[in-house]
């Protein structure tokens, strides 16, 4: 922990709480804050009666909730470019940066194990996959590749290869014991696919989030790397000498193109967040690009000048609070959820359900009652993060 103004997100460069440093885009911090806030919201629904858009798709399909995690990974890629360029400009060696990257990735992975295990810590049910472990892997691989070679063309080729290769793997490689997808078993069958099969052969069912499969499984990390690489390419585009308006236009065009391509690919390779299909990567990252373009236009646009952009951003300070201490806010929310879920008011009724039922007794609409619980949970997580923000304490991994 430090009292200096530092960032909490992997790969981010230094920020201030009130002003934008030269070359710094406040829009990235604000979009990250929106992503974290929404992530905490949808991860802590008061009940299963939550509005459909506040829940993940059951299988194939797409909801607003499905956009959260890919947007975070996308922003990890964007931030990696700014962070690496900033540290190299200060004179850090590539070797020291690699060791720094490795340390961060290991800490993130271990935090993931903590979050997955809290508060019981039973080895037999320990989940090794998860949100933070996937972020750790994607960050480490992408940041290392950027350190080795900062050129953009090989990153683009790799991203395309990962998307096409994953499609070919899911479409044509026979699943042992079941057969070829699309011929012997339905394409993207929930349990009879190569991703689920491999996860079951690596870990016992008790280690998998859904027992027969895991939404952050091993093979589906490959297309998740493509998501992060596209973020890296976006960060490289933002670091060019072009006018900001041209950059925003390029990001918006790329975003719209990805949305269309992902939608078209969906007809033969369905959009599926739990398998992180290639169509899902393009569709989700397209929306992430469009959100980033909008955020830059609103808060860093040159047309109205920086002063107006900064003044407008003050209205969005709640997002900046989450955005500048993103990992801290997320970890706190997960530990809090695990804590209240383990406290029992009486046998068979934990504190989380007791609170949700209390709201439901006053609000007859189950979906709205669930939303009120979620908003209250976000507020509880925001308050200590705001305390850190006000004191310019930014927990650095």
Tens of pLDDT, residue by residue over 153-208, are: 999 999 999 999 999 999 999 999 999 999 999 999 999 999 999 999 999 999 99
pLDDT at 302: 55
* Two structure tokens written together for 54: 């506040």
Pick the closest to residue 231 from 17, 36, 73, 103 (CA basis): 73
Can you tell me the distance from the alpha carbon of 69 to that of 223, in angstroms, rounded to the nearest whole number?
Answer: 13
Strand-pairing partners, residue 349, are 346
Pick the closest to residue 384 from 341, 331, 342, 338 (CA basis): 331
Q: What is the pTM of this model?
A: 0.90
DSSP for residue 349 = E
Q: Where are the alpha helices (DSSP H) in 173-305?
A: 194-202, 221-238, 244-265, 278-299
Strand-pairing partners, residue 344, are 350
Q: What is the pLDDT of residues 231-273, one digit of tens each?
A: 999 999 999 999 999 999 999 999 999 999 999 999 999 999 9
pLDDT at 9: 41
Portion of the chain with pLDDT greater than 70, in percent: 91
pLDDT at 364: 87
pLDDT at 307: 57
Q: What is the pLDDT of residues 289-299, one digit of tens each?
A: 999 999 999 88
Q: What is the mean pLDDT of residues 37-42?
A: 96
* Two structure tokens written together for 254: 């790329």
Can you tell me the distance from the alpha carbon of 137 to that of 228, in angstroms, rounded to the nearest whole number?
Answer: 10
Helix and strand element counts for the chain (H, E): 14, 2
Task: Using pLDDT thresholds of 50, 70 and 90, give the confidence band for residue 300.
Answer: confident
Q: What is the mean pLDDT of residues 60-69?
A: 97
pLDDT at 273: 97
Which of 5-9, 36-40, 359-363 shows the lowest mean pLDDT across its residues?
A: 5-9
Can you tell me the distance from the alpha carbon of 55 to that of 384, in angstroms, rounded to the nearest whole number?
Answer: 26
């Amino acid at each position: 922990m430090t009292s200096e103004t530092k960032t909490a997100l992997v790969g981010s460069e230094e920020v201030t709480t009130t002003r934008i440093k030269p070359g710094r885009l406040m829009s990235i911090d604000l979009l990250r804050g929106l992503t974290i806030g929404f992530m905490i919201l949808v991860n802590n629904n008061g009940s299963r009666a939550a509005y459909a858009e506040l829940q993940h798709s059951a299988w194939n399909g797409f909801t607003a909730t499905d956009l959260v995690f890919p947007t975070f990974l996308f922003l990890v890629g964007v931030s990696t470019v700014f962070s690496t360029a900033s540290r190299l400009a200060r004179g850090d060696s590539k070797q020291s940066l690699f060791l720094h990257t490795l340390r961060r990735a290991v800490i993130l992975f271990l935090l993931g194990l903590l979050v997955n295990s809290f508060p019981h810590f039973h080895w037999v049910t320990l989940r090794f996959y998860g949100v933070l472990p996937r972020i750790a892997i994607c960050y480490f691989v992408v940041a290392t590749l950027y350190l080795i070679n900062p050129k953009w063309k090989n990153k683009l080729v790799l991203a395309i290869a990962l998307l096409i290769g994953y499609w070919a793997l899911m479409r044509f490689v026979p699943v042992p014991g079941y057969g070829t997808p699309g011929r012997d078993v339905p394409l993207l069958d929930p349990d009879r696919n190569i991703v689920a099969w491999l996860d079951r052969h690596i870990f016992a069912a008790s280690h998998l989030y859904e027992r027969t499969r895991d939404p952050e499984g091993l093979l589906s990390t490959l297309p998740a790397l493509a998501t992060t690489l596209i973020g890296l390419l976006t960060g490289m585009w933002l670091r060019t000498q072009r006018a900001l308006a041209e950059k925003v236009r390029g990001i918006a065009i790329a975003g719209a193109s990805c949305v269309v391509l992902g939608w078209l690919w969906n007809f033969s390779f369905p959009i599926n967040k739990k398998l992180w299909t290639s169509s899902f990567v393009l569709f989700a990252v397209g929306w992430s690009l469009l959100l980033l373009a909008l955020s830059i236009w609103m808060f860093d646009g040159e047309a109205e000048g920086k002063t107006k952009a900064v003044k407008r951003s003050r209205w969005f300070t709640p997002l900046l609070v989450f955005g500048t201490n993103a990992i801290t806010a997320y970890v706190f929310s997960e530990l809090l959820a695990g804590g209240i879920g383990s406290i029992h008011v009486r046998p068979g009724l934990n504190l989380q359900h007791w609170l949700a039922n209390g709201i439901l007794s006053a609000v007859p609409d189950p979906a709205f009652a669930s939303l009120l619980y979620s908003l209250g949970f976000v507020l509880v997580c925001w308050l200590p993060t705001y305390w850190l923000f006000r004191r310019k304490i930014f927990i650095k991994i």
